[in-house]
Amino acid sequence: MSLQLDVQIQRGPFRLHAQGQFPTGITAIMGVSGAGKTSLLRGIAGLDPSLGPILLEGQDLNRQPVHRRGIGYLSQRGALLPHLTVEQNLRFAQKRGTRPYTEAQSAELIAELDLRPLLARRPQQLSGGEHQRAALARALIGGAQLLLLDEPCAGLDHQAHNAFLSYLRKLCSHHQLTAVMVTHQAWEAARCADFAAEITGQSPHAFLGPVAAINQLLCEDSLATRRDALACLDLPVAGYDANDHLLSLRCGAETIAVPLARPPGTDTQRILITAQSVSLSRAADQPSSALNRITTTLDALIPAAPGEVVARLNTAAGFFLARLTTRSCRTLALHPGDTLIAQIKATALS
């Protein structure tokens, strides 16, 4: 199910025009702090007023008050009702949902999110990650097909953060959900999103750009020049070396090796390549400890900071980035269109 919107959101001097179609899957909304990411989600949910159509399954949500929209909404703190246990919170949502889960479906959801040991606890007795997991179940149990997530992992430690994103991905693909997630971290978007859009421009005229495949946006100039810039590639699995714990992924005619403790359960794997972990050379035969040497074409050089540029590299599997000094750029005499060998340390991949 897809969400289509063309809305104006105004709050004081701030104005945002958001236009786009969000397909089934997870879409990350990126943008600097204060760009209006949260305002957009609140507008879609009906928590703040917005003007214009918000179409979900052909129905205009903007004609409905917040409690009739049937949207799953997850804020930074999941906001479970503090006077109820996790189980009672789930029942609360199930009772009021538009298409509530059956008992069997609820049991499955609880199992999927590993919530069974937490059911009798009150929100005060949960860790941050557990709280968000319970809140995720609560957002879905009423039958919401659209899930809005406002930086759901803010304040979680790295492990809990990763775990939450895994749960989110699993649920979204299993239940065919349309999820819109606000994030300001590129790696978070790269880790779990299928699509991305960026809020560009400054208030009073911010604009939500078109929804595109996630990697395409990550490699666009505005995000590629950020210090945490990275790319994500979905690559087919070629094999697994159990002795060296190395996973081989197919990238065109070449392979990319990634350390992985156990053999993967899926046919394709997503890898995140940070711009900082890639170096470039002209020839492939120089000895190096970097396992991965991929033949690429230089697509563009983007000035990133004084003395630093980002090289956008094209491969058969898509773009990725390399952050270089302008001096090495000059030494190698780089020009768009050049064929280059990108060296990526396998241990820098995840």
What residues line the site for other proteins (CB under 8 A)?
Answer: 45, 47, 65-73, 75-83, 92-93, 96-98, 135, 138-139, 142
Given the structure tokens 């609560």, which residue do they identify?
138
Q: How far apart are CA 295 and CA 347, in angstroms?
A: 19
Residue 147 or 217 with smaller CB distance to other proteins: 147
Strand-pair category, 146-150 with 72-74: parallel
**Collapsed DSSP state (helix, strand, coil) of residue 125:** helix
Paired tokens of 69: 């929209």
Q: DSSP string spanning 27-68?
A: EEEE--TTSSHHHHHHHHHTSS--BS-EEETTEEGGGS-GGG
Residue 155 or 337 with smaller CB distance to other proteins: 155
Q: DSSP string spanning 190-237?
A: HHH-SEEEEEES-TTSEEEPPPEEHHHHHTSHHHHTSTT-EEEEEEEE
Residue 41 or 217 with smaller CB distance to other proteins: 41
The nearest distance, CB 72 to other proteins, in angstroms, is 7
The nearest distance, CB 10 to other proteins, in angstroms, is 18
Q: Count of CB atoms within 10 A of residue 92's CB?
A: 16
Q: Could you tell me how far CA 270 lies from the centroid of its own chain?
A: 12
Q: Which of 233, 275, 276, 279 is nearest to 258 (CA)?
A: 233
The nearest distance, CB 146 to other proteins, in angstroms, is 11
Residue 45 or 311 with smaller CB distance to other proteins: 45
The nearest distance, CB 66 to other proteins, in angstroms, is 5
The nearest distance, CB 96 to other proteins, in angstroms, is 3
The nearest distance, CB 127 to other proteins, in angstroms, is 17
Q: How far apart are CA 220 and CA 225, in angstroms?
A: 9
The nearest distance, CB 47 to other proteins, in angstroms, is 5
Q: How far apart are CA 3 and CA 217, in angstroms?
A: 20
Paired tokens of 165: 């994103």
The nearest distance, CB 134 to other proteins, in angstroms, is 12
Residue 77 or 184 with smaller CB distance to other proteins: 77
Residue 113 or 135 with smaller CB distance to other proteins: 135
Q: How far apart are CA 312 and CA 295, in angstroms?
A: 13
| Contact (Cβ atoms closer than 8 angstroms) between residue 164 and residue 132 | yes
Residue 45 or 193 with smaller CB distance to other proteins: 45
Residue 67 or 158 with smaller CB distance to other proteins: 67
